Structure 1
């Protein structure tokens, strides 16, 4: 099940924004490839962004004059989205709703539905609702076969040494593809590699560690976190790098 709203509110201040370099590059890769597959981000077309977060997709799409409906459970994520939209002068192209996907009321179909790296899509029912939300195109982006983060790997090992943790999330592209095949909906998909690196203060590195543990329902051990941060710190900061595969699935009704 999705994490509680307060988790994403806490995460919001460190979450990438639409103009964060590594995120911007991934979004550009995804939008370029989906265009090649026929997805038309035409001015005045309508798009539903499920689990929009800070607007990493909503802002670039609104800049194309796509009419975006962005939903997210986190008020703080949406506040960042609205701030960036206002700064870009595109607030008229984005409507935001603080809501989970399970209970969001679909009062009208959209030309395009998009769900990228979001726990909002967490079971068969939410997959079906996503597929049925659009009349033309659908886009789903998830983790692929791997996500390598030495800091998080060491953190989990220190707390649960005999337990295996997946760093690629619960709902995978294969789950969405299976539902599309059941519905006889044509689709295509693409894998690509991405990587990013963030430098944290010692205080923020500790907060990051606790967030990663909370996400997995693990109680934080302060002493183990302190030792880990000492091992990874350099000049009173901690550099945390991630290398991962992502998968894009595109379908057409």
Structure 2
């Protein structure tokens, strides 16, 4: 089940921006490797950013003079993207559309490049095929890899719904995209890399973070459990929550 638009609107206020150090590091690593594989982020080339969020890819690409179309169902995410793009002087290179991917109309001819990173917008065969066909030339897909370790979230899920502990929220698996690329006779290459980051919260912010983690998995939060776990996590504010994960980058050409 995909999280609802209201979930992403609420999440927007704590979502990383394009210049958040941990996010920027991953984006630059992804852009550098995809360039090595022949993805041409050339000035005036057109790129579709599916599930753009706050512009973590859209803005760095616009800084390269790429003409970006950024789509996202969350108006709050897009408002942050537009504000940051305006501050960076690249707002004229980014067109934003508040839309889900299922119903977005891809123009003819399609884009030079399509990009989808860590987004639940790609969630079944239809949305995978639509993503692949949205570019006549090249594509980039980024998803979680084989592990994501967050001791706090692991404990939270173990206390609420042990069967959900090892579930992965977010984008579909890279293997599912590879299968569709094989079916369409598209050549592709992939790479895995490790990333890690820490988020710092007040006690109330950490409660909201815990609530979001549960609700995106359709689990009803028990705030007495959440508060107990947070007290175990840290005796005082601020509360730091650490995550280590593998990401997979997939690049294809038509």
The normalised TM-score by structure 1 is 0.98
Partner residue, 1:32: 32
Residue matched to 2:229:
228
CA distance in 2, matches of 1:246, 1:170: 11
In the alignment, which residue of structure 1 is the partner of 2:180? Answer: 179
2:182 pairs with 1:195: no
SS at match of 1:68: strand
Q: CA deviation at 1:238?
A: 1.2
User: Gaps (5+ residues) in structure 2?
Assistant: none
Equivalent pairs, count:
253
Tell me how far 1:163 sits from its aligned partner.
4.8
Residues 57, 131 of structure 1: CA spacing in aligned structure 2 closer, same or farther, 3 A cutoff?
same
Query: 1:3 — aligned with what?
Result: 3
Work out whether residues 118 and 171 of structure 2, in 8 Å CA contact, stay in contact via their aligned partners in 1: no
Aligned residue number for residue 95 of structure 1: 95
Alpha-carbon contact 1:145-1:168 (below 8 Å) kept = no
Aligned-pair CA distance for 1:145: 0.1
CA offsets 1:32-63 (integer angstroms, 9 cap, x no match): 00000000100000000000000000000000
Length-normalised TM-score, structure 2? 0.97
Aligned mates of 1:45, 1:163 — CA distance in 2: 42
Contact 1:144/1:168 (<8 A) preserved:
no
Task: Give, in angstroms, the shift of residue 165 of structure 1.
Answer: 3.1
Instruction: Determine whether 1:219 maps to 2:220.
Output: yes
Q: What residue in structure 2 maps to residue 50 of structure 1?
A: 50
| In structure 2, C-alpha distance between the alignment counterparts of 1:94 and 1:190, rounded to whole Å | 28
Deviation at 1:171, TM superposition (A): 1.1
Structure 1: 5+ residue runs without aligned partners? none
State how far apart, in whole Å, the 2-side matches of 1:133 and 1:207 are.
36
Which residue in 1 is equivalent to 2:132? Answer: 131
Cα pair 2:62 2:94 within 8 Å, conserved: yes
Distance 1:181 1:151 in 2: 38
